[in-house]
Amino acid sequence: MERQELADKMIVFIRRALANKAAEIKPDVPMRDQGLSSSGRLEFFTMCEDEWALFFDGDEQDKVETFNQAVDLVMKMLSEK
């Protein structure tokens, strides 16, 4: 899967987690600074897990601050499958 295709899908997930389908996502700004709460963050990662049959451990999730970092992590995990 191409990075842009993955990012486009993940944008949908983060907007759902934010409960704002029109939210402008700034890829290099921390997700919490864009309004993503801890429960929204959990929802976002759960959607990614469900979509691509992945499992994020707590340490992996904790290291991710920005949307771009989340995309990079999912790309890495998919390449290791």
Q: How does pLDDT run across 34-74, given as a tens digit for each residue? A: 999 999 999 999 999 999 999 998 888 899 999 999 999 99
The domains of the chain are located at 3-79
Superfamily of domain 3-79: ACP-like (1.10.1200.10)
**Reported pTM:** 0.93
Other C-beta atoms within 10 Å of 20: how many?
Answer: 13
Average pLDDT, integer, range 22-45: 95
Three-state DSSP class for residue 66: strand
> Which residue did the predictor score with more confidence, 10 or 57?
10
CB burial string 24-44: b at 16+ within 10 A, e below? ebeeeeebeebebeeebbebb
Q: What pLDDT shows up at residue 1?
A: 78
Report yes or no: 13 and 44 within 8 Å, Cβ to Cβ: yes
Assign 81 to helix, strand or coil: coil
pLDDT over 90 (residue 6): yes
